[in-house]
Amino acid sequence: MNKRILSLIYFLITVVILVAAIKIINYLPMVIQAGTIREYHSIEEVRSKLNIKDIYIPTYFPQGLVWPPSLVLAQDKPFTAVITEFKKAGKEAPALILSQSASATFRTDEKIRLRGIKEKISYPLKGRNMMLEAGVCDNEEPCSRITWAEGRYTITVTAKSEPPDLLKIAESMVHRLPTRGRHEKN
Amino acid sequence: MPMHISVYFDTYPGMYMAQAFCHSVIAFIMVERAITLWKINSPLIRQRFGLLVILLPIFSFPLYQLINPDRASIAFRLGALFDINRWLNLELGGVPLGALFIIIVFVTTLIFLLQEMVPVLRHTFESKRSGLHAAGSDNNPAVTRAVEQLSAEKPDIFTLDDDEFILFSSTGKNPAIFISTGIIETLSAEQLRAVVAHEIAHIKRNRKPLLLMAFLLRMTMFFNPVVLLEFRRIVQEEEKICDDMAVLSTKDPAALSEALQKLYYRDDVTNPLQLRRFSGMRDSLEEYSHNVQIGNRIARLEYSPVHGKDGKWAELIVTVIIIVGINYFVV
C-alpha cells in the first residue's frame, strides 16, 4: 500500500485514540467529585441527591405546557444551580426555561433566545424588584424573560409567551416574603 | 459574598484563556503525531506545522462562538467531547484546580515577559543607543574576501572590535550584519562565509510578512504555556532553516558545522540533572539546552541532507481540519 495512505490511516487511528482519551479525561471529574452539573430525571431526584431544598417551580403553567419537565439539570458544585425546561405538547423546542443559580454570572442556556428586545422594565412583584424583558424569538414569536433575586439565588424565567403570562408564572413561584443574603456560596 | 473562581471561567476572557489552552494542547498532540507519522524532517515544514499550535488557538474560540453562540451553553458543554470547567471546578484538598490554572497562567506570563519581551526590548534599545545602524559597511578585508563568492544580495556588514564571539543581524529598511573581530580571527574564510550566509538567511526570512505577523500574533498567547514551549521550538527550527539556506548558498555544510563547533559548542557542559545544588541550576540548564541545540544543528549539517524543498501541504491541511474539528467540541 502507498506509504502516504498508510501514514494517513495511522494518523486517523491516532485521532480515534485521542478522542477516546479526551472522553475519558472529561468523565473523570464526575467520578472524583459528585455534585457537578449533570442531568437528572426529576426535580425530586435533585432534591434527594443534591439536598437542595429550595427549588423554585411555578404553580401556574400556561395552557399547553407539559408536566413533568423535559430536562432537569442541576449542580451543587462549585455553586448551586438548577435549570428546568418545559415543552409544549407535540413540540421539540422548550417553551419555558427556569433557572436558579447561586452565582449571578451563571450562563443559562439560550435555547429561547430573545432577538430584538422591545421593552426592558423594572417590575415590582411581591416585594421583589424584577427585571422584565419583552421581545421576539427567532420566528417572530413573542418571547419574554424575567429575572430577580430570591434569597441567595438569581432566578431567571424565559418563556415563549407574552409578558402577562410570564408575570403569572413568576408570581406563582414566590410565596414567601423576600429574604436577604443573595449569591452566597453553599 | 465569596466569589468562586469558577465565575471567572464563565466569562468570555476566562473561557478564551481556558479553551485556548486546551486547543493548543490538542493541536500540539496532533502536530507531534503528524510530524512523526509523515516523517517530516524539513525544518521549514516542521515550523509550518508548529505554527498551527500557536496560531489556531488564537482564533478558534471567537470563530467557534461566531459559528455557534450556543457553544458556551450548558447543553453544549454537557454533550461536548471535553469541558475544561469540569476540571477547573474540581476541588482537591480544598483547592480548586481553577486556582492552580491561574497560577500556571501567571507564571507563564512572567516567563514570557522576562525571557522574551524584556530581551527583545533591551536589544532594540541598546542597538539604537549604540548607533549600530550607521550607514555603510566598514569593509573589513577578511570579511569582504570571505563573502565575495556569495551570490545572494549582501547587506552592510559591520565589524565590532571585540574578542568575544558576537554575531547578529538587524532587520528593517537597512538590514546589517554585525560581526566581532574575535570571530573573524577564529574562523577560516569558508567558515566566515558560512556564518555570514546564515545571517543573510535570517535577514531574508525576516522580510516575510506572514512569518513576522505570526511572531507578533504569538504575543496574544502570552498566558499559554504550550505556546511558550512551541514558540521556542519554532525559533530552533528557524535556526535550522537558516542553516539550510546558508548551505544551499555556500554548498559547504562542513564549513558551517565547523564554525558552529568553534564558536558555540562546548564539550564540558554539565548536565544540570547531575548538579547537587540548586544554585546555578537555571543558568546551567540554559547553557546545557543551548549546547544540545547547537549539537543537534552540527549533527544535522554533518549527517542529514539539507532540506530545501517545500511540500507536505496535503498533510498540513488534513492536520488543520482534524485539529479544528476536534477543538470545536472542546469547551
Produce one character per residue of B155-194: b if its CB has 16 or more CB atoms within 10 Å, e if not: bbbbbbeeeeeebebbeeeebbbbbbbbbbeebeebbbbb
HSE, side-chain direction, 13 A CA sphere, residue A139: 1
Name the residue in chain B with its Cα closest to that of A183: B1
In this structure, the answer to whether residues A24 and A44 fall within a common structural domain is: no
In this structure, the answer to whether residues A107 and A127 fall within a common structural domain is: yes
Number of domains in chain A: 2
Instruction: Give contacts of A 68-107 with B, CB under 8 A.
Output: 73, 77-79, 83, 103, 105-107
Q: What is the pLDDT of residue B128?
A: 65
* Cβ–Cβ contact B1 with A under 8 A: yes
> Domain map of chain B by residue range?
5-328
Q: DSSP letters of B265-330?
A: --S-PPPGGG-S-STTHHHHHHHHHHHHHHHHHHHHHHHS--------HHHHHHHHHHHHHHHHTB
Contact between A77 and B91 using a beta-carbon 8 Å cutoff: yes
**AA letter at A80:** T
**pLDDT tens track for A13-28:** 999 999 999 999 999 9
* Cβ–Cβ contact B38 with A under 8 A: yes
Determine whether A140 is exposed, middle or buried from the number of CB atoms within 10 Å of its CB (0-12, 13-18, 19+): exposed
| Of the listed ranges B22-31, B237-246, B259-268, B302-311, the one predicted with least confidence | B302-311
For residue A98, pLDDT over 60 is answered with yes
Domain that holds residue A20: 1-32
Report the alpha-carbon distance of residue B146 to residue B189 in Å, rounded: 5
* Cβ–Cβ contact B80 with A under 8 A: yes
Contact between A26 and B34 using a beta-carbon 8 Å cutoff: no
* Cβ–Cβ contact B83 with A under 8 A: yes
From chain B, the residues in CB contact with A15 under 8 A are 30, 322, 326
Report the alpha-carbon distance of residue A14 to residue B324 in Å, rounded: 15
Q: pLDDT band at A96, cuts 50/70/90?
A: very high
In this structure, the answer to whether residues A22 and A51 fall within a common structural domain is: no
**Among candidates B272, B110, B11, which has minimal Cα distance to A106?**
B11
For residue B131, pLDDT over 60 is answered with no
Check whether the bond before B69 is cis (ω within 30° of 0).
Answer: no
Within-domain flag for A124: yes
* Cβ–Cβ contact B13 with A under 8 A: no
For residue B172, pLDDT over 80 is answered with no
Q: What is the pLDDT of residue B129?
A: 62
Distance between terminal CA atoms of chain A?
A: 61
Across the A:B interface, residue pairs with CB atoms under 8 Å apart total 98
For residue B323, pLDDT over 90 is answered with yes
Check whether the bond before A78 is cis (ω within 30° of 0).
Answer: yes
HSE, side-chain direction, 13 A CA sphere, residue A19: 15
In this structure, the answer to whether residues A86 and A57 fall within a common structural domain is: yes
The chain-wide mean pLDDT, for chain B, equals: 84
Report the alpha-carbon distance of residue B317 to residue B73 in Å, rounded: 30
Report the alpha-carbon distance of residue B144 to residue B137 in Å, rounded: 10
Within-domain flag for A182: no
| Range B14-20 average pLDDT | 94
For residue B264, pLDDT over 60 is answered with yes
| Of the listed ranges A28-42, A154-168, A170-184, the one predicted with least confidence | A170-184
Within-domain flag for A169: yes
Report the alpha-carbon distance of residue B257 to residue B273 in Å, rounded: 28
**pLDDT tens track for B228-254:** 999 989 888 999 999 999 998 888 899
* Cβ–Cβ contact B328 with A under 8 A: no
CB B18 within 8 A of CB B88: yes
**pLDDT tens track for A32-71:** 888 888 889 999 999 988 988 889 999 888 888 888 899 9
Which of B34, B82, B330 lies nearest to residue A11, judging by beta carbons?
B34
Q: In percent, how much of chain B has pLDDT > 70?
A: 88
Within-domain flag for A178: no
In this structure, the answer to whether residues A168 and A114 fall within a common structural domain is: yes
The chain-wide mean pLDDT, for chain A, equals: 86
Write out the H or E segment, with its range, that includes residue A94.
strand A94-101
Q: What is the pLDDT of residue B317?
A: 95
Contact between A109 and B96 using a beta-carbon 8 Å cutoff: no
In this structure, the answer to whether residues A84 and A132 fall within a common structural domain is: yes
Q: pLDDT band at A184, cuts 50/70/90?
A: very low
In this structure, the answer to whether residues A71 and A155 fall within a common structural domain is: yes
Contact between B82 and A22 using a beta-carbon 8 Å cutoff: yes
In this structure, the answer to whether residues A13 and A104 fall within a common structural domain is: no
Contact between A29 and B75 using a beta-carbon 8 Å cutoff: no
Helices (H) and strands (E) in chain B, counts: 14, 5
Determine whether B217 is exposed, middle or buried from the number of CB atoms within 10 Å of its CB (0-12, 13-18, 19+): middle
From chain A, the residues in CB contact with B80 under 8 A are 26
From chain B, the residues in CB contact with A73 under 8 A are 74, 78
**pLDDT tens track for B59-98:** 999 999 999 988 888 888 888 999 999 999 888 877 888 8
In this structure, the answer to whether residues A131 and A80 fall within a common structural domain is: yes
The ipTM value here is 0.78
Contact between B326 and A105 using a beta-carbon 8 Å cutoff: no
Contact between B86 and A26 using a beta-carbon 8 Å cutoff: yes
